[in-house]
Chain A
Amino acid sequence: MDNAAKRFLFAAVALAVIVSLCSSYFNRYYLGVAIDVGINVILAVSLNLINGHTGQFSLGHAGFMAVGGYTTAKFALLLQGQLPPWAQPLIFVAGLLLGGSMAAVAGLAVGVPTLRLKGDYLAIVTLGFGEIIRVIFQTTEAFGAATGLTGIPHWTNFAWTWSCAALTVFVVACLVNSTYGRGFIAVHDDEVAAGAMGINPVRYKITAFVIGAFFAGVAGGLYAHHKQFLSPGGFDFLKSIDIVVMVILGGMGRTVGVIIAAVLLTILPEALRGFAGYRMILYSLLIIILMLTRPQGLFTFGRAAQRKV
């Protein structure tokens, strides 16, 4: 934890709070998009820890997001009427932490059995887990079943979202750049060699899954209190793909690139609303062309040569 990183965290949180205080001066629509961007930054950066830094291809990130979102929302709905209004931020923070923790537990549950799998097998199993989580929410009456969970209080604002985003970036960056965190990159580069050097790949993979899932859960909680409505359909396979594309576009394991990609890919669909019919066709073509021409990601400069020692 070097001081530059800490300074970044404080500066980002302060900026988020200041902008949030002035939020009444901004257009509500743009503010909403800015919160969407923040949530996607959290999702992309946390997935980047699993997919990019540790090299474990997970396609179930939306599942973790769902766990966090539903937990946070249900927690708020249960406690909302019973505590005085001043306790509201406390409920929100506790809910976010609880949502993150439940998602982390889900991450542990996914990580442990899937450890022995690699590459596309891991991808399909995490996809399967994501689908199972969705099916569970879709059939549980307490979580609104297929119709979804409604009436969630609107607590997410700019400050909360971007403070959480800054915290995510801070934690992931510090973790990966620490001595301990070099292990993630070692596991990514060569699992067998990492094991031979005394690094326990199993532990690193589980850690990556749990931390990544935790932040996805927090993002889910923010999302729930932002949209005020949760439906299982919003957390399907396609949402996971969205997050994966952000990570790939930004360049696996490049935090800055991934943040840029998350920002771009959230704003672009909003800007392209006029071409609604062609939007998703263009999006899928973008994935294919990107993979054919620049599989290492769009925003990757400089470090590629350094990595290939």
Chain B
Amino acid sequence: MSEFFQQLINGLAIGAIYALIALGYTMVYGILRFINFAHGDVFMLGAFAGYFLSPVVNRFLPAQSYAGGAVVLVLAMAICALIGMLIEFLAYRPLRNRPKLTVLITAIGVSLFIEYTCQHDAVFKAAPRKFPELIPFTNWHLGGLVLNTNQVIVFVTTMLLLVALTVVVQKTKVGTAMRAVSFNEQAAALMGVNINRIISFTFGLGSALAAAGGILFAMNYASIDPLMGVQTGLKAFVAAVLGGIGNLPGAALGGLLLGVVETFAGGIPGLSNYRDGIAFGVLILILLFRPAGLLGKLQTEKV
């Protein structure tokens, strides 16, 4: 029984990270209706931003302190928010009214560009690096369960960010505008919403969440490399589809569910080798039986 709860904790920890990334996919899809393939790479850039920021921050704040970790996290989120807005401005904005496939292919191109540039010897190099410990590490034993500080930080940070996101989207003016653009872009423009600014903001918000996901991921797995965003990004996208793409609570739920399913399936002896395939199996099943996702509403196509 304790093994079951242990797996559940591990699954929820990775699921929370998927959830953070999935939110970015879902927000962009809700507004622009396309898959931002480069999102997984923003997640990777977030982790690298943390890697390079940590020594800088440690000059002012003691190493391995909660305050230092928080500063690194916030700065990395800010940097990635800017990168996300820059990607949107340079690559996606000129294609705003083109066919969706054109944008999709551009997104794949942007993703490859980030990956190959970062793998180059003059940038991050292809070899994995060890991520510094941002916070003091302890293991807590609760009955038969082991819970470490990083996992707790993942839960706490994810919860705080989810609450913050909900407040931004539901209570603020810019959030209302985001929902309006997602509902009907033209009508929102007629009501005086600056579409470009809102889309830019959405990219910034999503990228900041991805950066937070990147740092939390790196804290848990201790190793980062320029291709870490590929598989994780794809899985987070699956999580977004699982919850119902365009639906914010759905993305969070989908992320947690996917993390738990993957961890449990990975624990079954015969299935553990197929771990990377499981997310895609889930994707295919969900699209077969409930294409709109768990919390999404099915829209009929109008001719």
Contacts and interface: CB of A to CB of B under 8 A. Distances in A.
Nearest to A296: B102
A285 interface: yes
B102 A291 contact: yes
Contacts of B130: none
A113 B284 contact: yes
B18 to A, nearest CB: 15
B291 A57 contact: no
Interface string A136-160: 1011000000000000000000000
B101 interface: yes
A174 interface: no
Nearest to B118: A281
A120 B37 CA distance: 11
Interface stretch (A126-134, A175-183, A213-221, A256-264): A126-134
Nearest to B230: A237
Please classify the interface of chain A as helix (H, G, I), strand (E, B), loop, or mixed, using the class held by over half of its residues.
helix
Contacts, number: 106
Contact of B110 (A135, A281, A288): A288
A129 B273 CA distance: 16
A117 interface: yes
A55 to B, nearest CB: 9
B91 interface: yes
Given A131-B277, A131-B280, A123 B106 contact: no
Contacts of B103: 291
Interface residues of A, number: 39
Interface in B95-110: 95, 98-106, 108-110
Contacts of B149: none
A112 B50 CA distance: 44
B105 to A, nearest CB: 5
14 contacts: A113-B288, A128-B284, A129-B280, A131-B234, A135-B273, A135-B277, A192-B303, A280-B112, A280-B116, A281-B120, A287-B105, A288-B106, A292-B91, A295-B102
Interface of B: 34-35, 91, 94-95, 98-106, 108-110, 112-113, 115-117, 120-121, 230, 234, 237-238, 241, 273-274, 276-277, 279-281, 283-284, 287-288, 291, 301, 303
Interchain residue pairs A-B with the least CB separation, the first 4: A287-B109, A128-B280, A284-B112, A135-B277
